[in-house]
Amino acid sequence: MAENPAPLALVTGATGYIGGRLVPELLKAGIRVRAMARHPENLRGRSWADRVDIVQADAGSPEDLRRAMEGVDVAYYLIHALGTGRRFESTDRRTALVFGAAARESGVKRIVYLGGLHPDIEELSPHLESRREVGDILLASGVPTTVLQAAVILGSGSASFEMMRHLTERLPIMVTPKWVTNRIQPIAIRDVLRYLVGSASMPPDVNRTFDIGGPQVLTYGEMMQGYARVAGLGRRVIIPLPVLTPWLASHWVGVVTPVPAKLAKPLVGSLIHEVVCREDDIKQYVPDPPEGLVDFEGAVRLALRRIADSDVTTTFSSALGPTAPSDPLPEDPDWAGGRLRVDERSSIVAATPEVLWTVIEGIGGDNGWYSWRLGWVARGVMDRVFGGPGLRRGRRHGSDLLVGDELDWWRVEAIEEGHLLRLRAEMRLPGLAWLELIAEQDEQGRTVFRQRALYLPKGLPGLAYWWAVTPFHGIVFGGMQRNIAAAAVEAQRSFDAGQGPT
The CATH number of whichever domain residue 122 belongs to comes to 3.40.50.720
pLDDT in tens, 324-361: 444 566 655 454 445 788 899 999 999 999 999 999 99
Q: Tell whether 321 is covered by a domain.
A: no
Query: Would you state the pLDDT for residue 373?
Result: 82
Nearest to 142 by CA among 102, 195, 201: 102
CB atoms within 10 A of CB 393: 24
Residues 380, 410: Cα–Cα separation, whole Å: 11
pLDDT in tens, 117-175: 988 877 888 888 889 999 999 999 999 999 999 999 999 988 889 889 988 998 899 88
Is 70 exceeded by the pLDDT of residue 247?
Answer: no
Q: Tell whether 304 is covered by a domain.
A: yes
297 lies in the same domain as 350: no
Q: How confident is the model at residue 1 (pLDDT cuts 50, 70, 90)?
A: very low
The CATH number of whichever domain residue 417 belongs to comes to 3.30.530.20
Chain center to CA of 299? 19
Q: Tell whether 326 is covered by a domain.
A: no
Q: Looking at per-residue confidence, does 325 or 57 come out higher?
A: 57
58 lies in the same domain as 199: yes
Is 60 exceeded by the pLDDT of residue 486?
Answer: yes
158 lies in the same domain as 290: yes
Whole domain around residue 208: which residue ranges?
Answer: 8-308
pTM over 0.85: no
286 lies in the same domain as 402: no
Query: Would you state the pLDDT for residue 367?
Result: 87
List C-alpha distances in Å: 430 to 243, 332, 456, 459, 465. Answer: 35, 19, 9, 8, 7
294 lies in the same domain as 396: no
137 lies in the same domain as 57: yes
263 lies in the same domain as 362: no
The mean per-residue pLDDT over the stretch 110-118 comes to 94
Name the 3-class secondary structure at 267.
Answer: helix
pLDDT in tens, 23-52: 999 999 999 999 998 888 888 778 899 999
Query: Would you state the pLDDT for residue 84?
Result: 53
Q: How confident is the model at residue 246 (pLDDT cuts 50, 70, 90)?
A: low
Is 60 exceeded by the pLDDT of residue 502?
Answer: no
Q: Looking at per-residue confidence, does 15 or 322 come out higher?
A: 15
Is 80 exceeded by the pLDDT of residue 248?
Answer: no
Question: Are 182 and 272 within 8 A, CB to CB?
Answer: yes
Nearest to 44 by CA among 419, 400, 439, 438: 400
Average pLDDT of the chain?
Answer: 87
Least reliable range by pLDDT among 71-75, 96-100, 340-344 = 340-344
Query: Would you state the pLDDT for residue 327?
Result: 56
Q: Residue 277: what residue type?
A: C
Q: What DSSP character marks residue 244?
A: -
258 lies in the same domain as 109: yes
272 lies in the same domain as 222: yes
pLDDT in tens, 197-237: 999 999 999 999 999 999 999 999 999 999 999 999 999 99
Question: Are 73 and 201 within 8 A, CB to CB?
Answer: no
Question: For the chain, how many structural domains are there in total?
Answer: 2
174 lies in the same domain as 44: yes
